[in-house]
Amino acid sequence: MSLRRNTTADRLLAILDQARILTSAEEAGVRANPAAGATSPALGARDQALVAGLMRINHTGEVCAQALYLGQAAKAESAETRTHLLQAAREEYDHLVWCNERLGEIDARPSALNPLWFAGSYLIGAGTAWFGDRISLGFVVETERQVEAHLEDHLDRLPLADARSRAILETMQREEIEHGQHALDRGAVELAPIVRRIMGLCADVMRFVAYRI
């Protein structure tokens, strides 16, 4: 009996199903939420609006990270690079779930545009992978550098009493640094300054829009 091969339509449907899961965070994360042992008092209206905006940005950032890594993994040259990217995506999914849980705790919602962020990021990831594994890994390094920097900014802006959000972001920041270092260890090349600048501008647009919508 012959086995049916996946068609382009099959692969597209699988990607769309992955997007549905990731943008809604339906499934529980594999690891325990780092905020599980932390307590935070009820937030005032101003602080709640601030935390909601920051955590919405981080939730959207994890949607984008998932899509980027899945797109890169789909076109990776080597099985080793593909495995590395999928493992990073697995950890980023935990981050997404943690952010989603915190949004729910403060009666806030994720970005309404997450499906669009996912689609655009997947295409960028797949396009980057066409240039080879070393450049694709260089894209990971620069992405994680920028994420690390914006998480540091968010940690500075969080209300001091919000220990739950802080525990989540600190764990995320530590693991983003690890993802970048792992990519460097696997031979990532430094991207051109203009590419890094464009990536930064795209991230600025995402943060501006996701904070509000």
Instruction: Tell me the DSSP string of the chain.
Output: -PPPPPPHHHHHHHHHHHHHHHHHT-SPPSSPPTTTT---PPPPHHHHHHHHHHHHHHHHHHHHHHHHHHHHHHT-SSHHHHHHHHHHHHHHHHHHHHHHHHHHHTT----TTHHHHHHHHHHHHHHHHTT-HHHHHHHHHHHHHHHHHHHHHHHHHS-TT-HHHHHHHHHHHHHHHHHHHHHHHTTPPPPPHHHHHHHHHHHHHHHHHHHH-
Show pLDDT as tens, one digit a residue, over the chain (213 residues).
444 444 544 444 445 455 544 545 555 556 889 888 888 888 898 999 999 999 999 999 989 988 899 999 988 988 889 998 988 888 888 999 999 999 999 999 999 999 888 989 999 999 999 999 999 999 999 999 999 999 999 999 999 989 999 999 999 999 999 989 999 998 899 999 999 999 899 889 988 998 888
Residue 56, token pair as written in the block: 């919405």
What is the predicted pLDDT for the residue at 29?
52
Domains of the chain, by residue range, sit at 41-212
pLDDT of residue 46: 92
Dihedral over Cα of 14, 16, 21, 23: its sign: positive
pLDDT of residue 27: 53
Q: Identify the CATH number of the domain defined by range 41-212.
A: 1.20.1260.10
Would you state the pLDDT for residue 28? 52
pLDDT at 2: 43
Instruction: Give the whole-angstrom CA distance, residue 206 versus residue 57.
Output: 8
Per-residue model confidence (pLDDT) at position 41: 85
pTM across the whole model: 0.83
Token readout for 30 is 């594999």
Give me the pLDDT at residue 26, please. Answer: 53
pLDDT score, position 13: 43
- Which pLDDT score is estimated for 66? 86
